């Protein structure tokens, strides 16, 4: 899927859409990527003279790839984090890097999904974690625009 096709599934939009492309293989494993340009909002002050992608953003990149695994159950719903377990940060991600996520669903209970994901740059493990999501029907969300 391309970035535009991804927008048909997840509600994220610029500047928070953090998947450029994704493929889901025959074993239901997601392989996603995001190229860090250096112009992202989260690099503007993190850190001056030594920009590093924040760990929470790496988790979000993986989470968006995990959400895309949910497929049709995601239509008409918004995924909200239910948990981040066992996150381990092994290596930094910098401007110019292409962050590659590998993710899979490990369990499902109702509209709660449990996943595991790992993120790499050039084959080097940068982060891994178990992530869980609750899907909430869009018609149950309150409009919070101010």
Of the candidates 12, 35, 46, 50, the residue annotated as catalytic is: 46
The rounded distance, in Å, linking the Cα atoms of 65 and 101 is 7
Q: Is 46 a catalytic residue?
A: yes
Calculated CA dihedral for residues 108, 111, 112, 114, nearest 10 degrees: 40
CB 3 within 8 A of CB 21: yes
Please provide residue 130's backbone torsions phi and psi, each rounded to the nearest 5 degrees: -105, 130
CB atoms within 10 A of CB 20: 15
Residue tagged 């599934």 (tokens): 9
Active site residues: 46
């Amino acid at each position: 899927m391309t970035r535009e096709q991804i927008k048909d599934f997840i509600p994220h939009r610029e500047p928070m859409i953090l998947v450029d492309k994704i493929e889901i293989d025959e074993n239901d494993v997601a392989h996603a990527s995001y190229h860090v340009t250096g112009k992202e909002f989260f690099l503007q002050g993190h850190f001056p003279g030594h920009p590093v992608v924040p760990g929470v953003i790496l988790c979000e990149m993986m989470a968006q790839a995990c959400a895309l695994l949910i497929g049709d159950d995601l239509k008409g719903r918004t995924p909200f984090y239910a948990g981040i377990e066992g996150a381990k940060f092994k290596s930094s991600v910098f401007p110019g890097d292409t962050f590659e996520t590998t993710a899979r669903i490990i369990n499902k209970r109702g509209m709660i999904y449990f996943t595991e994901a790992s993120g790499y740059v050039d084959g080097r493990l940068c982060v891994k974690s178990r992530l869980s999501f609750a899907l909430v029907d869009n018609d149950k969300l309150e409009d919070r625009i101010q």
